[in-house]
Each structure stands twice: as structure tokens, then as C-alpha cells.
Amino acid sequence: MRRSMDGHLAIEALEEVDAVYREPVALFYLKDLSYKEIAEILDVPIGTIMSRLSRGKAQLREIFKRKETETSANTL
């Protein structure tokens, strides 16, 4: 049976995201902030945040999928 990831593995995945992308990505998922709000809070140009979110989310998704696969494999 396939076991779902728990919150701890999600956080582990976030830790593996490159540091420069981690803050905007964390605020996107954890605080549910818009890209404009994140830009304002971090005091970074909107274009920079758009770029960091795009790259950071792509990284997190890949790490997330990998960990999900590993977790599934370990439970077989």
C-alpha cells in the first residue's frame, strides 16, 4: 500500500531547495502569500520574486516527487 508523505518530509523537501529560493517558496506555501506580497515583505523587485518562485517551486516539486517515490518504495 502506498503511504502518503507527512508534513515532516515536506519540510525536509523545503530544506533541500536552494537557499535563495527557499524564502519565497516557503511564504508561498506556508503563508499562502501572493507573489506581490512576497516581493513587498522581502523587499525584492517583483520580477526577481517571480523568477525565484518559478525556479524554487520547480525545485520543490521535483524534490517532493522524489521523496514521495522513495517513501513509497520504502513501504513496499
Partner 1 sequence: MDREEAQYILQLCRPENSEDRNDPLIAEALELLNQDAELSAWFEEQQALDTKISAEFNRVEPPADLYAAILAGMRANAVQSQLLIGNKGEDAEQDHHPIRFTQPTNRSEQRAGLRAWMGIAAIFAVAGVALMLSRSEAPTQLANNDQSAAGASPIIATAGAPNMIEFLAQQISEFNGSKFDKRGVQVGDLQSHLASTGMPNPAQIPQQLKQLTTIGCVTFDYDGTKLSMICFKNGQVYHLITVDKARVPIDCTPCQGQKSKVFEAQQQAFKVWAEGEQIFILTTQGSEEDLADFI
Interface contacts to partner 1, rule CB under 8 A: 4-12, 14-15, 19-20, 22-23, 26, 28-32, 34-36, 41-43, 45-48, 50-55, 57-58, 60-61, 64-65
Whose Cβ is closer to partner 1: residue 56's or residue 76's? 56
CB of 7 to partner 1, least distance (A): 3
- Judge contact between 38 and 21, C-beta under 8 A: no
CB of 76 to partner 1, least distance (A): 20
Which of 62, 59, 68, 66 lies closest to 18 in space, CA to CA? Answer: 59
Which of 14, 48, 51, 12 lies closest to 31 in space, CA to CA? Answer: 14
CA–CA distances in Å: residue 14 to residues 10, 58, 63: 6, 11, 8
CB of 57 to partner 1, least distance (A): 6
Whose Cβ is closer to partner 1: residue 16's or residue 76's? 16
Q: In the numeric block, which cell numbers belong to residue 13?
A: 523537501
